[in-house]
Structure 1
Amino acid sequence: MKAIIGSEEWCSFSELGLPAIKARIDSGAKTSSIHAFNIQTFRRNGELWVSFEVHPLQNNRRTSIRCERQVVDKRSVKSSSGISETRYVISVPMELGEERWEIELTLANRDSMGYRMLLGREAMTGRFLIDPANSFCMGERSSDELQKLYARGDTVRSGLKIALMASNPDLYSNQRILEAGEERGHEMVFLDIKQCYMKLDAKNPEAHYRGGKVLQDLDAVVTRIRPSVTFYGCALARQFESMGVLTTNTSDSVIKSRDKLFSLQLMLKSGINIPTTGFANSPMDTNDLIEMVGGAPLIVKLLEGTQGRGVVLAETKKAAESVINAFKALRANLLVQEFIKEADGKDIRCFVIDGKVVASIQRTAAPGEFRANIHQGGTASIVKITPEERKLSITAAKALGLDIAGVDIIRSKNGPLLLEVNSSPGLEGIEAATAKDIAGMMIASIEKKLGWKKVLGTPADADPADTES
């Protein structure tokens, strides 16, 4: 008689060192999948193997187990979002209740999904009946039990010492970067920009942190400087650079990106198209400024604005005059830019790391809004960018000297146009939409620049000359 299982069950893989992992039981899916990141292939005795790490517990990225298994196949699998990707396939014994049998698993990053594992019908055929109204028919696991099971599973930090220099440690993006570094075995330190200070000395420059702590043993600093502290944050980044510490985005590149007018001028110099833009200092030039960009409707942008703040759509010439003159009365510097109607409230965010677009999403404005912004109720979805858009993104980041950048593009009838380049791009929207480990890619970039490599667990069996990556 077949055993009955629920819509979710606790499984285990003793040969992978995973005593408990919660699986979603999905008879609608053919294949089974397990969460995996830091996936690396290598050869052992002439056979292709894969090394990967697993977060076995949901909403817990600090508990990490490293696994190795021989690769049995590579398959193209379509995710729930409809995107096909090639995944490695391993075969391993699984325990569920009193049953133990060999199943095939595809390796995929499931950090943004509801479960660390999905058990498909191919692995269950002939073994179980599913009662979707029940859960954990084969037994529940308590929090205390899970803590004991994985007490040995925390990542050992034997790598680099990396500081994240930012303002808010609780921000999603900052949390992800800290977690990603810890996952890869590094010591991560959060530095509040306002709590740092420096000693200028030709022979012995120093950076200090609150309480008098000298920051002298850092390998790298991830610079995420909010606009309100650009001057001081860049001064600190410059100090670390003078000390020989690697910064992910240099002080010079951040300064260029924060000056919207200068950055647009650099874009044009690099051959990148932008919406027609006007800039003036005197309120006497308002009418000519409006006509310069094709008249209303038009966009008015504060030079110091960020994340959609300080951006106004003026639908008529009278409204444009009122907004421009009001801003100028406050002595605020602003840009006037043509309104691209055919964009229909959508833009594209391309995430660039070291001259490569690693992810891209389309952002759609919330109902009643004209500008796509996920901070103001907009939505994000995966988008396939064109070769022209890819080239534009890479060129834009390079023009400003940014190793890490969020490049915003708008599609017009005349081709892609650059809106702006962000030197501290957010991770939440793009990681959720693409299910990619962008934070991990940022840490990997630091590793590559510093020549740091994580050593595989069984070097005696592996041939270093025959390693794939």
Structure 2
Amino acid sequence: MNRFGWILVKDKFWDAYETNRLIEEFQKQDIDVQLVDPNTVDIFVNKDNKKSIVVNGESSDLPNFVFPRTGSGTTYYIKAVIRHFERLGVPIINSSDAIDNVKDKLYSHQILAESNLDIPNTMLLKHPIDIGFVEAYIGFPAIVKTISGSYGRGVFLAENKKQFKQLLTMAELTKPKYNIIVQEFIKDTWGKDLRVLVVNNKVVGCMMRQAQDDDFRANITRGGQGFPYEVNEQIEWLSVESSKALNLDISGVDLLFDNGGYKICEVNSNPGFEGMEKFTGKNIAGEIVSFIKLKVGKQNV
């Protein structure tokens, strides 16, 4: 097998379940892949050398595709690396713009709202913070989120005005000019939600996540359990349309239960799928690899 593509992933995630499963499925389809830490790639821009790139100080041939697995951890430098590949004509699975669209949770909600998709009422806090204004337009309980984050980190519940003030005080001690958003709390979804995996605008897996304690968050990484969940018309429509609106090839869409229907909580460009494969038996890695093979083109395999 000739070297074919790169999975762009920080070296601390090289042993992650998802990384190993992707490698396994690439090998099954006779596609060789290399793990590359984006921070080892050097960007050198000129008008002549367009067939190679520098990695760890050595020139390397361009891969046939690059699959970034950096998600909310995509720094400015990593984004610049992805854009450099794009300018060199290398197919990217989830473009730099698509990753940008979802890294900023407020911006992604603006795009989803523009597309007429159901989301919780959302507000960006500005300084000085007017708590009365938040109470009038969002109310309490309220969900407080950092602009960027994943796996349930940076997500808090303020059950009343007092707790909200305490959260703000803690945030100010950490970073005086922090950026956070506040969302309405959807009571029907306490301790449970849906995770939907979308590949090439097709739902390939859906599970309900449920907290095992009294946590309002249901993330598997926080100890939640997963259960296969039947995809209905609304789940499919919300998941596929949100992926389209955000221009994502591959996405993880989190849906909240709301009065017999659903609202979009958030969308991820680098979804974990260990829980999805474990609890549903779906071959998510295989679906991803088959799509990449289709997107890049059989002539390059």
Name the TM-score class by shorter chain. over 0.9
Taking structure 1 as reference, are residues 215 and 234 closer, same or farther at Cα in structure 2, changes over 3 Å only?
farther
CA offsets 1:338-373 (integer angstroms, 9 cap, x no match)? 111111311111101111111111111130211111
User: 1:321 is matched with which residue: 162, 165, 168?
Assistant: 165
TM-score (structure 2 length as normaliser):
0.93
Residue 88 of structure 2 is aligned with which of 239, 243, 257?
243
1:166 counterpart residue number:
9
* 1:368 corresponds to 2:224: no
1:218-250: CA deviation from partner (whole Å, max 9, x where unpaired): 111111114334322221111111111111110
Q: Distance in 2 between matches of 1:344 and 1:227?
A: 24
Give CA deviations for 1:54-84 in whole Å, capped at 9, x if unaligned.
xxxxxxxxxxxxxxxxxxxxxxxxxxxxxxx
1:418 alignment counterpart: 264
Q: Which has the higher contact order (CA 8 A, sep 6+)?
A: 2
| 3-state SS in 2 of match to 1:247 | coil
Alignment of 1:145-294 (within 5 A): 157=1, 161-167=4-10, 168-205=13-50, 206-216=52-62, 218-293=63-138
Distance 1:383 1:406, change over 3 A: same
Letter in 2 for 1:255: D
Distance 1:189 1:213 in 2: 15
Q: Percent identity?
A: 34
Question: Partners in 2 of 1:263 and 1:289 — Cα distance?
Answer: 21
CA contact (8 A) 1:257 1:400 kept: yes
Give 1:336-375 correspondences, 5 Å limit. Answer: 336-375=182-221
- SS of the aligned residue for 2:151 comes to coil
What is the SS of the residue equivalent to 1:304? Answer: coil
1:179 Cα deviation after fit: 1.4
Secondary structure, aligned partner of 1:177: helix
Residue aligning to 1:304? 148
- Structure 1 residues 308 and 369: CA distance shift in structure 2, 3 A: same
One-letter amino acid of the counterpart of residue 135, structure 2: I
Please identify which structure carries the higher helix content: 2
**What count of residue pairs does the alignment treat as equivalent?**
296
**Partner SS for 1:246:** coil
Distance 2:54 2:300 in 1: 30
Deviation, structure 1 residue 196: 1.3
Partner of 1:392: 238
Q: Distance between the aligned counterparts of 1:207 and 1:287, measured in 2?
A: 54
d(CA) in 2 for partners of 1:207, 1:373 = 38
For normalisation by structure 1, the TM-score amounts to 0.61
Q: Select which of 178, 186, 189 maps to 1:332.
A: 178
Cα RMSD after superposing both structures: 1.9
How far apart are 1:291 and its partner, in Å? 2.5
**Secondary structure, in 3 states, of the residue corresponding to 2:46?**
coil
**Contact 1:301/1:310 (CA < 8 Å) preserved in 2?**
yes
CA–CA separation in structure 2 for the residues paired with 1:389 and 1:162: 33
**Is 1:430 equivalent to 2:259 in the alignment?**
no
Larger Rg: 1
Instruction: Find the aligned partners of 2:108 and 2:199 in 1 and give their Cα distance.
Output: 19
Runs of 4+ in structure 1 off by over 4 angstroms are: none
Structure 1 distance, partners of 2:287, 2:90, is 19
Name 1:458's counterpart in structure 2. none
Considering fraction of residues, name the structure with more strand. Answer: 1
Q: Which ranges in structure 1 are unaligned for 5 or more consecutive residues?
A: 1-156, 456-469
Residue 387 of structure 1 and its aligned partner are, at CA, apart by: 0.4
CA distance in 2, matches of 1:186, 1:165: 16
User: 1: distance between equivalents of 2:298 and 2:146?
Assistant: 42
Q: 1:399 to 1:169 in 2, by over 3 A?
A: same
Q: SS at the partner of 2:218?
A: coil
